Chains A and B, each alone.
Chain A
Amino acid sequence: MMISCQPLARLIEAFSKLPGIGPKSAQRLAYYLLHRPGEEAEALAEAILALKEKIGLCSICFNITDCDPCPICQDKERDHSKICVVERPSDIPPLERTGKYKGVYHVLHGAVSPAQGIGPEELKTRGLLSRLQDGSVTEVILATNPNLEGETTAMYLRRMILPLGVRITRLARGLPFGADLEYADDATLGQALEDRREF
């Protein structure tokens, strides 16, 4: 269908660039907004603008934030001698929800991926190493994903951090709850066996 109306066509095109939204859904969203009150459209537009204007990266941990340093880095109650290293900002909320971690974070914004040409220079690795220089940090928890890229990243960071004498730990890799031993892959099962604990 040809959309002859310019503003509508522009909005449909913008929507269809969003992940998971095809041309059909883009059209539906645009027509929906067309029939909503003006304030609703304004609120949406304002929220999108605020996202780009007010949100930046924390200069310490590189998490996304609307103030610098971010609330976690500013929090005096937290244990600043422990840094948990994650790939993405979206990895922090699930760790926070566990309520078991009181240290601070460092966001790499990706993982090493040799075949895609993503090396440590493309990530926030240098910022991490500089946080470890003054000796105030005693433990680095590597919480990169348990897949090839995450594992490569963790092994690389380990190599860089080891000479600094900081304790390095890695999240345990075990069987997910509800998993079936029979179908567990070798890597997971082997790791679960190695990391077994008193019961």
Chain B
Amino acid sequence: MGTPRSYQTQAIIIKQTKLGEADKILTIYTPEFGKLKAVAKGACRPGSKLGGNVEPLTHSLMMLARGRNLDIVTQSQTIDGFLALKSDLWGMSCGLYLLELIDSFTVENNGNPPLFALLLDTLRRLCQTDSSEIVLRYFELHFLHYLGYRPQLHQCVICNSPLRPVVNSFSFSQGGILCPHCSEKEPESHPLSVDSLKILRLWQDCDYATAKRVKMKSELSSQLRQAMQGYIKYLLQREVKSIAWLEELRGS
């Protein structure tokens, strides 16, 4: 039995680039096949049936046909355009940050259904009035887990001793927390307060409904943000460009 010539999949559109005068190359994230590139023919023409249905930050049901190089999007029906997100500068920017993370960390043709579900849930949460800081941190922790970078938060990753309620530190290179003693030998690690560690541990293992009940002051919130985004940058070995934009919006 050969592979079918066309198939249907849910997709979240990550980005699009123009191809020639009328076509677009889409980068989409799907549950079964992970990241894919596909051609949306005629999507730039006014009145195209694909047109606005293949904008980034859209959850769609797509029909694709196998192509020689790239598959071809033959139909795309919007399931959720996350309009509440797109009409708000901060919300849209948070959404673009998620898409950049997915695009940077995933490879093509490597399905990860739980990660797809997480991305979808997170985009929906950003449409609600929940604290975007909690939504993003919860996403980052679970995103890293599904990609195999779950940070070890329960015992010192060097000496294995249980962590005491004092200022410990987060070692990006070791992928987890170090006790104060081991921290001294790892000058590159990031100090983490007792409360920060408590919250990270809770979020790593609880469902979102529980996670969002956490109340925190802005100082704690920015500590958590720096720790998580520092770890992400370390793993990626480069800057996440949308972080600079989120910082700019926070400042202005």
Contact = CB atoms under 8 A, between A and B. Distances in A.
Contacts of A147: 55
Contact of B78 (A20, A116, A151, A186): A186
Contacts of B88: 155
B100 A156 contact: no
Contacts of B58: 185
Contacts of A27: none
Contact of B81 (A152, A160, A183, A185): A185
A186 B83 contact: yes
A186 B76 CA distance: 12
A159 interface: yes
A42 to B, nearest CB: 31
A190 interface: yes
A115 B241 CA distance: 5
Contact of A187 (B81, B92, B245, B246): B81
Interface in A162-199: 176, 178-180, 183-188, 190
Please classify how large the interface on chain B is, using the bins under 10, 10 to 19, 20 to 34, 35 or more.
Answer: 20 to 34
B169 interface: no
A117 interface: yes
A47 interface: no
A179 B53 CA distance: 14
A93 interface: no
B248 A119 contact: yes
Interface string B77-99: 01001010010110011001101
Interface of A is mostly: helix
Interface residues of A, number: 27
A44 interface: no
B55 A159 contact: no
Contacts of B57: 148
Interface in B219-247: 241-242, 244-246
A185 B241 contact: no
Given A151-B92, A176-B47, A179-B47, A115 B86 contact: no
B111 to A, nearest CB: 23
B49 interface: yes
B252 interface: yes
Interface of B: 15, 20, 46-47, 49, 51-53, 55-58, 78, 81, 83, 86, 88-89, 92-93, 96-97, 99-100, 103, 241-242, 244-246, 248, 252
Interface of A: 20, 112, 114-117, 119-120, 147-148, 151-152, 155-156, 159-160, 176, 178-180, 183-188, 190
Q: Which 4 A-B pairs have the closest CB atoms?
A: A185-B52, A114-B245, A155-B89, A114-B242
